[in-house]
Structure 1
Amino acid sequence: MIELLPIALAAGFLALGAAAAAWAVQAERKRSQALGQAAARMGLEPLVWEPSQRGLYGLQVFDQGHNRRTYNVFRRLFSETEEAYLFDYDYTTGSGKSRHTHRQTLAAFRRSGRALPRFELRPENVLHKIGGLFGYQDIDFEGFPEFSRNYLLRGQDEAAVRALWRPFLLQHLGLHPGWCLEGGGDWLVAYRDGRRVEAEKLQEFFEDSRALHALL
């Protein structure tokens, strides 16, 4: 009887693992259905789409990690020159015990003819502040302490990035911390790092992201 105990324990763990996997699959299916319904109410259409199809992989978020996956994709066409995409995006960093999968919902906006300088904005943390003491780039703006305290802004062409970030945009973001923005050419991507948006918050996220798009 004692000899059978390890086998019983192993079988129990396998059963628990299978149940957890089945629950996760079902939860993702329900999430996809709920997002689809919310997106339809907002006038967005579902489609199969990869960021690489539109040249987005040059942006930092799409160059991170491995096992990259784009899913739950929805599109809205505002005009022949302006469109928006909402989608979930995962990527994995590390391996073994240090392996971590990052999941977030992104809004990507394209405006034909726009020529954004390449930039990356994200919430500033302690490591960024320490790095700044050793020359790590962080573009700050005098007169906007909330923005400079809350955000790390980087870009190869600092002068062009500074010209883009006008006072009303700096003030808006200073009052609304937590955003990640990446831009280049006709594309702007907005998201909150490591956070997926639930269906009931999808319209709010889309409107907030679109407001940032309008300011750029």
Structure 2
Amino acid sequence: MKALPFFLVIALIAAIGCGIVYLVKKRRQDLELVARQLKLDFFPKGDESIAPMVSNLEFFMYGERCDVSNLMRGQVKRNGKPVTVAIFDYSYTICKHRSTEFSFNEDSVSIESNSDTETFCQTVLVFYDESIDLPGFSLRPEHLWDKLANFAGYEDINLDRFPAFSKGYRLLSNQVDDIRDLFQPNLIKFYENNKICTEAIGPYLLVFPFPPKHQSSSLTMGDKTFTKSQYVQPKDVKPYLDLSLKLLNLLEKNMSAVRQ
């Protein structure tokens, strides 16, 4: 098989680059339209105003070269009351392995650093609702690497009444008793039907989609598994927002029942 002529290779690379630029621009334009429809402010390159929201969630404490784009920010109504929401595309890089090699020559020392990294990209929704106070927890799909992590001492919370749920999900929290009270049958059914990852603490709730079926969690480090996912398509942002608000309602309902 003959190699492609050099000019064809350059043309192919240029065509791929132009295609990527077009898709990025098209997504930004479509999401800006969605933001207007939802009456949310739009920041194509993100905005530092969301720092207080993301700084309280462990999800955003890991990774390098973190980037926020296509940020939609403002307030939506939940049960007639305003709730602050931020919806944005988020990418970050995890270093799986890093090594440094030293080469000693007669008059000098050469240092070469190598790293094995992987980048994750997701559309996330973050809520701030001062009317609720959720126990801290994270929930996502459970995979083989998680089971190996359990043997290393990073055990998730298994709910004996819901073995299928416990088998398919990894639920972590330092407030085990509160979490067992919170996860009632209505909440279990919601997660089984809708397949969304969640992190919560106090008035903050983070939601993002499960990875597609053909993907799996690709990296587990200690008690942390970094889950590949995909961007939410512009047409699906409103339904996903409504679904996430439904989850917030369920969490509030169960918390109220526990306190009574």
Residue type of the alignment partner of 2:244: S
Structure 1, 146-155 or 43-52: larger mean CA deviation: 43-52
Aligned to 2:68: 70
Aligned to 1:116: 134
Separation in 2, partners of 1:60, 1:25? 32
User: What is the identity percentage for the equivalent residue pairs of Structure 1 and Structure 2?
Assistant: 27
Per-residue CA deviation, residues 9-61 of structure 1 (Å, 9 max, x unaligned), is: 3x654443343223212210101101111232233331442476214234232
Separation in 1, partners of 2:163, 2:239? 27
Following superposition of structure 1 onto structure 2, how do residues 152-167 of structure 1 map, counting pairs within 5 Å? Answer: 152-167=170-185
Structure 1, 161-170 or 92-101: larger mean CA deviation: 92-101
Structure 1, 102-111 or 71-80: larger mean CA deviation: 71-80
Q: Secondary structure at the match of 2:55?
A: helix
2:13 is equivalent to residue 17 of structure 1? yes
Aligned to 2:30: 34
Structure 1, 87-96 or 21-30: larger mean CA deviation: 87-96
The two structures have a TM-score, normalised by structure 2, of 0.71
What is the aligned counterpart of 2:159 among 141, 148, 152?
A: 141
Q: Which has the higher contact order (CA 8 A, sep 6+)?
A: 1
Q: Secondary structure at the match of 1:211?
A: helix
Q: Secondary structure at the match of 1:143?
A: coil
Aligned to 1:190: 207
The two structures have a TM-score, normalised by structure 1, of 0.84
Aligned alpha-carbon RMSD (Å): 2.7
Instruction: Flag structure 2 segments of 5+ consecutive residues without an equivalent.
Output: 97-113, 210-227, 252-260
Separation in 2, partners of 1:21, 1:66? 24
The structure with the largest strand share of the pair is 2
CA contact (8 A) 1:44 1:75 kept: yes
Aligned to 2:117: 99
Instruction: Flag structure 1 segments of 5+ consecutive residues without an equivalent.
Output: 1-5
Residue type of the alignment partner of 1:194: S
Q: Secondary structure at the match of 1:142?
A: coil
Separation in 2, partners of 1:90, 1:29? 17
Aligned to 2:222: none
Structure 1 stretches (4+) deviating beyond 6 angstroms? none
Aligned residues: 210
